[in-house]
């Protein structure tokens, strides 16, 4: 069965600290992988996507993610978190029109 | 460009009532979809469309109908609202199957 697991429901980091959000997936074929961010009361915005090629992908707002096929993971990273990064982050797998989303990780940023 | 526009933003229904959530996009996107977002469950696909006149079911289609008579519009109909349909609903569109989704700002629906 196709699924996405985000094991961390809630994470708190200090401003300026590094960040890594975990994502593991189960998918039968070569996966298309995405990270979306949702600010309070808003729709989702794409941070980055992986289809093929270089396993380290760069996204907007200074985020990057690394695809590791052997670990079925697609973790999101940022070297230095800003207060404006506080939001909920969703990992997703599949084709754009039939995405399977994880349950999300809520990021809080401490001053 | 307005992007993806959803109306209404908030709605309260009584059990058994019907209503239509509207979604329109002005980007000439072929792909449109409806998701519901519930706490602790992420987003789940309700229905999707790959073009005018073509729709298909997603993960949680029961209790919902859709149609796609034009490229721009993709309304979601609740036939007989139930408390289990209390949720936040998002419409999304994309240019093709491998491009990013553009999301609307959501409709918060409460069914009493």
- Give residue-wise pLDDT tens across range B26-76: 999 999 999 999 988 889 999 999 999 999 999 999 999 999 999 999 999
- Asked if A17 and A81 count as a contact pair (C-beta separation under 8 A), the reply is yes
Taking the mean position of all CA atoms in its chain, how far away is CA B75? 7
| Cβ-defined contact of B31 to A96 (cutoff 8 Å) | yes
**3-state SS, residue A82:** coil
Q: How confident is the model at residue A96 (pLDDT cuts 50, 70, 90)?
A: low
How confident is the model over B101-111, as a mean pLDDT?
A: 94
pLDDT of residue A85: 96
Beta bridge partners of residue B75, listed in sequence order? none
Whole-number CA gyration radius for chain B: 13
Q: What is the DSSP letter of B39?
A: T
Q: How many residues comprise chain A? A: 111
- Return the structure tokens found at B11: 């709605």
Contact (Cβ atoms closer than 8 angstroms) between residue B74 and residue B92: no
Do B105 and A99 count as a contact with CB atoms less than 8 A apart? no
**Beta carbons of A102 and A6 less than 8 angstroms apart:** yes
Q: What is the C-alpha R_g of chain A?
A: 13
A21 — pLDDT class (breaks 50, 70, 90): very high
* B42 closest CB neighbour out of A49, A95, A102: A102
The pLDDT score that the predictor gives to residue A27 is 85
CA-to-CA distance for B24 and A90, rounded, in angstroms? 24
Query: Which residues of chain A have a CB within 8 Å of the CB of B60?
Result: none
Task: Please report where in the chains the tokens 């789940």 appear, as a residue.
Answer: B44
The residue among B101, B104, B107 with the most chain A CBs within 10 A of its CB, best to mutate, is B101
C-beta atoms of A99 and B45 within 8 A: yes
Residues in Cβ contact with A111 at an 8 Å cutoff, skipping those fewer than 6 apart? A14, A15, A83
pLDDT score at A42 = 83
pLDDT digits (tens, 9 = 90+) for B62-99: 999 999 999 999 999 999 999 999 999 999 999 876 67
- Judged by CB atoms closer than 8 Å, whether chains meet at A97 and B42 is answered as no
């Amino acid at each position: 069965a196709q699924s996405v697991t985000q094991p961390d429901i809630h994470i708190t980091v200090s401003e300026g600290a590094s960040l890594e959000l975990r994502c593991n997936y189960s998918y039968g074929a070569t996966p298309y992988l995405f990270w979306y961010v949702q600010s309070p009361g808003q729709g989702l915005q794409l941070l980055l996507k992986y289809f093929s090629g270089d396993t380290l992908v760069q996204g907007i707002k200074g985020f990057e993610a690394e695809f590791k096929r052997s670990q079925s993971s697609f973790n999101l990273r940022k070297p230095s978190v800003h207060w404006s990064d506080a939001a909920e982050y969703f990992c997703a797998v599949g084709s754009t029109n039939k995405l399977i989303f994880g349950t999300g990780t809520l990021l809080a940023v401490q001053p | 460009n307005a992007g993806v526009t959803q109306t209404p933003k908030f709605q309260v229904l009584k059990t058994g009532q019907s209503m239509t959530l509207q979604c329109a996009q002005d980007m000439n996107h072929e792909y449109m979809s409806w998701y519901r977002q519930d706490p602790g469950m992420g987003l789940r696909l309700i229905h999707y469309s790959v073009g005018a006149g073509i729709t298909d079911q997603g993960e949680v289609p029961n209790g919902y109908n859709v149609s796609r008579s034009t490229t721009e519009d993709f309304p979601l109909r609740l036939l007989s609202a139930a408390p289990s349909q209390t949720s936040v609903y998002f419409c999304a569109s994309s240019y093709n199957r491998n491009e990013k989704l553009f999301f609307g700002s959501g409709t918060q629906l409460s069914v009493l």
